[in-house]
Structure 1
Amino acid sequence: MKDEKILGEERRLFILNSLLKADSPITGGELASRANVSRQVIVQDISLLKAKNEPIIATSQGYLYLKTDAVKEQFFEKIIACNHAPEKTKEELYTIVDHGVKVKNVIIEHSVYGDLTASIMVSNRREVDEFLKKIKTANAGYLSRLTDGLHLHTLVADDLEKIQNACKELEEKGFIIT
C-alpha cells in the first residue's frame, strides 16, 4: 500500500492535514514522498489549496499553514529599510536573529513590477544558514540585487525591545537606512 499514489482531493486533504499537524515547515519533497507523487504535483496542489483560501505560505524551509489560535500571543512587527552588499546578508540576518527576532520577509520596490515580497521566515542561525544554502544551491540571486542593495524586512518578535535592540545593532553596523 505504501507505493500507492494518493489521488486528487484525498491528496489535498492529506496535505492540508499534514500541514495543520506540523509544528515546523514541511518541504514539498517530503510531502511528495509521503503521497508517492512528484514534487510538482504537490506544488500544484498547494496552489489549488491557496485558491480555496487556505492560509498556506511557502518559506525557505518548506510549507506552513498559518494557524489562528483562539488565544493569540502578542507579537510586534516593524518594517525596516536596509542597504548592503550581497556578501553582508549573512551578517545582517545573524544580527537580527541573535536578538530573538524573526525575519518574516524581504521586500523590494521594482521599477517595473512594483513591490516584490518574498517570505524568508528565519528566526535562528541554523535557519539562516539553510536559507543561504538554498540561495547558493539554486544559484538564485538576492532580490536586493535588483535595487543595488536597498530592501525592506518585516521583523517579528514577542517583545518590542528585542526588535529595538536588533535595530540598534543593525544601525551601528551600517545596515539600516534612517
Structure 2
Amino acid sequence: MSKLDKLKGDERRSQLISWLLEAEEPLSGSLLAAKTNVSRQVIVGDMSLLKASGEPIMATAQGYVYVKSDNKNSFTCVIAANHQPEETIDELHTIVDYGVTIEDVTVEHPVYGDIKASLKLSTRKDVEDLIKRLKDTNATLLSELTEGIHMHTLSSDSQEKLDKVCDALEEKGFLL
C-alpha cells in the first residue's frame, strides 16, 4: 500500500494543493482521483472545501488550476457577443489566434441572473478540447439559453492584442 492510499482528509487536500501549485496545465478531477485513490466526487468535495477556506482554486473546462498572482495577462476586457452555435469555433479560434485568453463566458438568464463559467482557453487545442467535451457529453452552449447573446472576459499581455481581436470580432459580426 502506497503512502497515497493512506491519505485522508486534510493530508489529501494538502497534497492536492501541492500538485496544483506544481502543475503547468489544469489537472482534471479524474486524474486527481486516480492519484489519490478516491472517487472524482471526493475530489469535487475537497476542491469545494479548499475554495471555501480561501485557496484560489478555479475549476475550468480543462480541470482545476491554482490561480497564481503572477498573472502575465494584466490587460482585460469584457466583450458582448451574439452568434449562432455553429459559429462558436470561429469566434473562439479568432480570439486565441490573436494570443488572447478567453477567461470565461457569462449569460444573463431571466430567472437565475448571471450564469458564468470559467473557460481559460488560450490555444486552438484548448478550444478543440472544449468542443469535444461538449459533443461527448451532449451538452449545450450557455449562449443557447440566451439565443446566442453572451459575454466573454478576455485577457492578454498587451492592450494592442485586445484591440486587434475586438476589431476582428467586429469585422466578423460577432460583437453586439
- The two structures have a TM-score, normalised by structure 2, of 0.96
- Shift of the alpha carbon at 1:67? 1.1
Q: Are positions 1:138 and 2:137 aligned together?
A: yes
- Shift of the alpha carbon at 1:173? 0.7
Give 2:159's aligned residue.
160
Partners of 1:5 and 1:149 in 2: how far apart? 48
Paired residue type of 1:54? E
- Shift of the alpha carbon at 1:135? 1.1
Paired residue type of 1:36? N
Partners of 1:96 and 1:35 in 2: how far apart? 36
- Shift of the alpha carbon at 1:46? 0.4
- Shift of the alpha carbon at 1:6? 2.1
Contact 2:58–2:66 (CA under 8 A) maintained in structure 1:
yes
Paired residue type of 1:45? D
How do 1:116-131 and structure 2 match up within 5 A? 116-131=115-130
Paired residue type of 1:7? K
Give 1:25's aligned residue.
26
Q: Are positions 1:101 and 2:100 aligned together?
A: yes
Q: CA RMSD in A?
A: 1.2
CA separation of 1:57/1:74 partners in 2, compared to 1, >3 Å: closer, same or farther? closer
- SS of residue matched to 2:131: helix
Partners of 1:5 and 1:39 in 2: how far apart? 17
Give 1:112's aligned residue.
111
- Shift of the alpha carbon at 1:108? 0.7
Contact 2:27–2:62 (CA under 8 A) maintained in structure 1:
yes
Give 2:64's aligned residue.
63
Contact 1:5–1:37 (CA under 8 A) maintained in structure 2:
no
Q: Are positions 1:42 and 2:43 aligned together?
A: yes
Partners of 1:140 and 1:89 in 2: how far apart? 14
- Shift of the alpha carbon at 1:74? 5.7
- Shift of the alpha carbon at 1:143? 0.6
Partners of 1:74 and 1:35 in 2: how far apart? 32
Q: Are positions 1:176 and 2:172 aligned together?
A: no
- Shift of the alpha carbon at 1:73? 3.8
- SS of residue matched to 1:23: coil
> How many aligned positions are there?
175
Structure 1 residues without counterparts, runs of 5 or longer: none
- SS of residue matched to 1:4: helix
Partners of 2:150 and 2:90 in 1: how far apart? 15
Partners of 2:26 and 2:154 in 1: how far apart? 19
